[in-house]
Every structure is written in structure tokens, then in C-alpha cells.
């Protein structure tokens, strides 16, 4: 997929009909809230930082949502659009996301398109209200609006008949997932000059026996992976989500390998796509490769280490590498692969690398919302061999009490009970000894008793 900040998507050639593969649907967060889209700024639903919302985008209509922001925190909203699996899409179809203040000034704008594969898949754009030096707009506390709209017409080429043309006015609605995050200001002012030197050499992908995992079906269900080699399977039209904890100062790399097919019958452009997103789901970079039936590999271009100061860089990917936290690897296999090479599943190997030394964080003045969002902290549970689908369902290598809150409570309760028992035994023993000593003294003083 392709994204562009502060740019609109061009209208490109028409749609291609794609057979609807039997693939898992997008998995929304378990605690997702419903947010009806308003068609204007009146009657908008308020998006609260730390919450995830489910909504829909109707044809040509803009969708409006509201933010109530203070005058010190950065705010970010990610919007993931989910076309139907059998949707007929054009290269230029996508979404645009902007944040505006109450006086219609634009704070940010981001857009994303489906891309050359035209394969139905979740696509994500983001909006922000940021405090940056020299930025005069959107710096006050108050009401702000998130505006989401479809881009591209979906119109077929001029060679097609009128009956085959589609238009956004009659297009099927796209489901939306919206996630809002608040980033606090710093305790002390930080440097704003971005270091120019960093290790830009192409890293060597890890080589090891792959560990079997099952990728998640959405951001909220992403499977946790760390540095190493991971084995999975994917079917045409499917999108898999993985998340990698990346601390301050660390430099991430990733390569994805697609296995060979049983037959060779043509070629699919941009068949395999891997996109890296930062913790607020803003695109960092991506890699894609065509497929002709033989094994193929796609590697992300080298990216700089994660640093707070990166936000002052003029362009991505550096600007997006501004937070520590969970970075997402999203892998999609185009639906057209089914038509050319069969319904699979196809073997997938994910190679994740991390280099560089961990550095101290920037020193936030308050907690983020949700809490700990930009901290790596204790490692997330490792995926179980054989896979459980989500990071939260997998076992931790540090024992049950390390990963399960209930088990931690049992462990703490057990420790408390044991301590109490030892105390009671100690008091009982001391009392028994004193009674025995008193009895001995009494016998010595009255031997005929």
C-alpha cells in the first residue's frame, strides 16, 4: 500500500474484479466502542485518548469525529479502513485523514491508497495535533475535529461500459477502526536538531531455525515477535499483523520471505507487501515484491534508530521513528495470487532484527494515555510454538506469574500467607520455650512438687 503525508491521492485506472477469498476478517479490539460518523461538525462523537472505536465510511460522505485537547499534549488518531473482501478497487482508491481546529485550520493531513495490487486490504492513515517549534496553528487547548474521507473515484476506464462503472456515491461502505493516543510534554526541553549520522548499512537478516507463530488479524490482535526468525502461513487476500517492542535507541529491520507455489502460471504485481507502522499506527516505510510462483523476499529499507528528536526531521521514515513502544509489521498477500497460483496456504518467513544500544527515554512530565504506551518496559510474552494468534494469548518464558495478572495475585497471596504462617509458628515456638523454662525453674525451686 502507499501513503503520503499532506498530499492527496491521484485518480488512476479503473478497478479489477477480484474473487473473494476465504480469509479471516479484520479483528477489531475486544473493548472497541461504537462511534457513529457525523456528516458535519455538529453532533460529533468525542474520541477519548486510550480508547478504540468502530465506525463506517459511506461513499462520498466525509466522516467527522471530535477531540477535546489540552494545551500541552500531542494527540494522535489512527484510522484503519477495511474494504469488503470482494470489493472492486482501483489503484488510487484510499482514504484521507485530517485534523482541523474549530476555525477550520488544518493541523495535519495524511492519505493512503490501495496501490498497484488493487487487492482489498486494511489501509491506515493518521492525524495529529502536535507542538512543534515554528508551528503557529493548532497550539491551543480546545475542540478539534478528525475528518475522514474516501479518495479516488473508483471509476472504470473509458473502455468499460457505463454498466461496469462504479462511483463513490454508490460504493459499499468501508468499516473504520479509530484509535486515539495522547503523548505528554517533557519535563525539560529537548534538543530539536536531528543527528545526520546513523548506521545506514543494510543489516544482515537473522539466520536461525524458525519459530512457528500465527499472525493476528488486526492491530489490536497483533502477535508479539522479537528479534529472530518466525514461520507462518498466509492465504491470498489475507493480512497478518505482528508487533515488535522497540526501545529508545534501537534500530529495527525486517525481511519477509514467501514460499514457492505448486504451479507457475503468470505474474502478480505487488503480490506481497510488508508495511512498518510506529506505535500510533503511522506508516514508517514499506516493501513490496511481485510474485511469479517461485520464492520471493522483500526487505524494509534501512531506517534510523528510535529517538524522540526524530519528530523534527522534515520527512519520513525518520520523522515517524519518534516513539519507543510496539512497532507493527503488517504483511498482505494479494488476492490475485489465488487466481494465478491457487488458494494456498503459502509459507511465510519473517526475519526481525534489532541493533543499537538502549538509551534513556526523553523524560515525560506525565503519563501517556493509555498509560505506558511509549514504554517498552518488561518484554511482552513470547509467541507459543504452534501459535496462539495474539500476543496476549501466548505463554511467557519467565513463568506463569510473570505474564498472568491472576497468577501474580496468587503468587503474592501465597507469599503473604506463607509469611503469616511462619510468624505464627515463630510466636508459638517462643511461647512454648518460655513455658518450658518457667516449668524447669519451678521444679528446681520445689523438687518435691
Per-position DSSP letters for 80-101, written without gaps between them? EEE--TT--B-TT-EEEEEEEE
| Strands ordered across the beta sheet of 33-34 | 33-34, 52-57, 174-183, 74-82, 123-129
Cell reading at 289 = 515484491
**Which of 317, 210, 216, 223 minimizes the C-alpha distance to 255?**
210
pLDDT > 90 fraction of the chain, expressed in percent and rounded? 67
Q: Are 165 and 156 in contact (CB under 8 A)?
A: yes
Is the model more confident about 444 or about 307?
A: 307
Q: Are 385 and 228 in contact (CB under 8 A)?
A: no
Q: How far out from the chain centre does Cα 448 lie?
A: 86
Query: What distances in angstroms separate CA 370 from CA 74, 275, 323, 366, one per listed residue?
Result: 13, 24, 14, 12
| Strands ordered across the beta sheet of 239-246 | 223-224, 239-246, 325-333, 268-277, 283-291
Cβ atoms within 10 A of the Cβ of 184, count? 16
**Which of 329, 322, 235 minimizes the C-alpha distance to 277?**
329
Q: Is 346 helix (H, G, I), strand (E, B) or coil?
A: strand
Q: What pLDDT does 133 receive? A: 82
Is the model more confident about 415 or about 43?
A: 43
Tell me what the mean pLDDT of segment 200-209 comes to. 93
**Which of 28, 11, 175, 16 minimizes the C-alpha distance to 86?**
16
**Which of 329, 321, 237, 240 minimizes the C-alpha distance to 276?**
329
Q: Report the mean per-residue pLDDT for the chain.
A: 82
Residue ranges of alpha helices (H) inside 261-346 are 336-341
Per-residue model confidence as pLDDT tens digits over 208-241: 999 999 999 999 999 999 999 999 999 999 999 9
Tell me what the mean pLDDT of segment 160-175 comes to. 62
Per-residue model confidence as pLDDT tens digits over 237-279: 999 999 999 999 999 999 999 999 988 789 999 999 999 999 9
Q: Is 198 helix (H, G, I), strand (E, B) or coil?
A: coil
Q: Residue 39 and residue 36: Cα distance in Å, rounded? A: 10
Is the model more confident about 376 or about 69?
A: 69
The C-alpha angle with vertex 125 and arms to 122 and 129, in degrees rounded to 5, equals 150
Q: What pLDDT does 153 receive? A: 67
Q: Residue 86 and residue 233: Cα distance in Å, rounded? A: 21
Q: What is the dihedral of CA 289, 292, 295, 301, to 10 degrees?
A: -10
Q: What pLDDT does 1 receive? A: 60
Q: Residue 10 and residue 91: Cα distance in Å, rounded? A: 9
Model-level pTM?
0.79
**Which of 62, 65, 63, 123 minimizes the C-alpha distance to 93?**
123
Q: Is 298 helix (H, G, I), strand (E, B) or coil?
A: strand
Q: What pLDDT does 155 receive? A: 39
Beta bridge partners of 10: none
Amino acid at each position: 500500500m502507499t501513503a503520503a503525508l499532506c498530499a492527496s491521492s491521484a485518480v488512476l485506472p479503473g478497478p479489477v474484479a477480484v474473487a473473494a477469498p476465504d480469509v479471516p476478517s479484520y479483528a477489531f479490539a475486544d473493548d472497541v466502542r461504537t462511534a457513529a460518523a457525523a456528516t458535519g461538525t455538529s453532533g460529533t462523537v468525542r474520541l477519548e485518548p486510550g480508547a478504540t472505536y468502530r465506525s463506517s465510511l459511506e461513499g462520498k460522505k466525509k466522516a467527522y469525529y471530535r477531540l477535546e485537547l489540552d494545551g500541552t499534549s500531542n494527540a494522535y488518531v489512527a484510522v484503519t479502513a477495511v474494504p469488503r473482501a470482494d470489493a472492486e478497487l482501483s489503484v488510487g482508491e484510499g482514504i484521507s485523514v485530517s485534523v482541523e481546529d474549530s476555525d477550520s485550520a488544518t493541523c495535519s493531513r495524511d492519505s493512503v491508497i490501495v496501490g498497484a495490487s488493487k487487492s482489498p486490504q486494511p489501509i491506515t492513515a493518521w492525524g495529529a495535533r502536535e507542538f512543534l517549534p515554528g508551528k503557529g496553528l493548532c497550539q491551543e487547548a480546545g475542540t478539534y475535529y478528525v475528518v475522514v474521507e474516501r479518495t479516488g473515484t473508483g471509476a472504470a476506464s473509458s473502455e468499460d461500459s457505463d454498466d461496469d462503472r462504479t462511483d463513490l456515491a454508490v460504493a459499499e461502505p468501508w468499516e473504520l477502526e479509530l484509535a486515539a493516543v495522547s503523548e505528554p510534554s517533557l519535563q525539560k526541553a529537548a534538543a530539536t536538531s536531528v543527528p545526520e549520522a546513523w548506521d545506514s548499512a543494510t543489516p544482515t537478516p537473522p539466520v536461525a531455525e524458525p519459530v512457528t507463530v500465527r499472525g493476528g488479524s488486526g492491530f489490536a490482535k497483533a502477535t508479539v515477535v522479537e528479534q529472530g526468525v518466525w514461520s507462518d502461513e498466509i492465504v491470498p487476500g489475507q493480512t497478518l499483523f505482528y508487533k515488535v517492542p522497540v526501545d529508545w535507541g534501537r534500530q529495527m529491520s525486517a525481511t519477509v520471505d514467501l514460499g514457492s507455489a505448486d504451479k507457475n502460471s503468470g505474474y502478480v504485481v505487488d503480490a506481497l507487501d510488508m508495511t512498518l507502522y510506529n506505535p500510533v499506527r503511522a506508516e514508517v516505510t514499506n516493501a513490496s515484491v511481485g510474485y511469479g510462483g517461485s520464492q520471493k523476499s522483500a526487505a524494509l529499507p534501512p531506517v534510523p534508530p528510535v529517538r524522540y528528536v526524530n519528530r523534527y526531521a522534515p520527512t519520513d521514515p525518520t520523522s515517524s521513528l519518534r516513539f519507543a513502544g510496539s512497532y507493527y509489521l503488517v504483511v498482505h498477500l494479494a488476492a490475485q495470487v489465488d487466481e494465478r497460483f491457487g488458494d494456498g496456504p503459502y509459507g511465510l518467513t519473517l526475519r526481525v532484527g534489532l541493533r543499537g544500544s538502549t538509551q534513556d527515554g526523553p523524560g515525560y512530565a506525565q503519563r501517556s494515555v493509555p498509560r505506558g504506551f511509549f514504554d517498552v518496559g518488561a518484554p511482552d510474552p513470547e509467541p507459543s510454538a504452534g501459535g496462539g494468534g495474539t500476543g496476549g494469548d501466548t505463554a511467557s518464558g519467565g513463568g506463569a506469574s510473570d505474564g498472568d495478572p491472576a497468577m501474580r495475585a496468587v503468587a503474592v497471596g501465597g507469599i503473604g500467607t506463607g509469611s503469616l504462617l511462619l510468624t505464627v509458628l515463630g510466636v508459638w515456638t517462643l511461647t512454648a520455650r518460655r513455658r518450658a523454662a518457667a516449668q524447669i525453674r519451678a521444679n528446681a525451686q520445689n523438687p518435691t512438687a
